[in-house]
Amino acid sequence: AIREMCDRAASYGVTIAIQNHHDVALHTDALLELLSDIDRPNCKLGFDAWSPALRGESLYEAAKKAAPHTVITTNADYMRVPRHRYRPDLVNYEPVTPDWIRAVPFGTGFIDYPSFFQGLADGGFNGIATYEICSPVRGGGDLKNLDACSEAYLEWMRIHTKPQRDS
């Protein structure tokens, strides 16, 4: 299905980006295998730090490996909220996994974006970086908070990344 989609899109000059989400080709190595199996020049990666960060992959190494094949990275930051369940028989709590994940303003969460972006740069990434708010964010969904979160992303990018210029 992905090959057919790429073939149909190719005649329009469109690149298809597959993202490292959900259950298919989740680990970076598996994602690169899938990309190799698809074997279409207009199929690239939409590589996201959230997934490898949640699963404990090295963000630097994952980003560096994926960088040559990545056309877009979608960025958001999150906090981990531990969960517990009360056990009346023990008169105590037990940990419940996985943690609850909540979107927070960029740069205030647990994702190591300096390592992620360094890996992308060292791997030769020459694509687009975007910010997303795709889940409930701390502070709510009113426009003022969403604008503040977006501005926090832009400010973080100004401080931590260097613009790439075409030569």
User: Using one digit for the tens of pLDDT, what is the confidence trace for 16-71?
Assistant: 999 998 888 899 999 999 999 999 999 999 999 999 999 999 999 999 999 999 99
CA distance 25 to 20: 7
Share of residues in the chain with pLDDT > 70 (%)? 98
On whether the pTM is more than 0.85, the answer is yes
Provide the pLDDT for residue 164.
64
CATH superfamily ID and name for 2-160: Divalent-metal-dependent TIM barrel enzymes (3.20.20.150)
* DSSP run (H or E) holding 39: none
Q: Where are the domains of the chain?
A: 2-160
Give the mean model confidence (pLDDT) for residues 97-112: 96
DSSP-based helix, strand, coil % in the chain, nearest 5:
40, 25, 35
144 band by pLDDT with thresholds 50, 70 and 90: very high
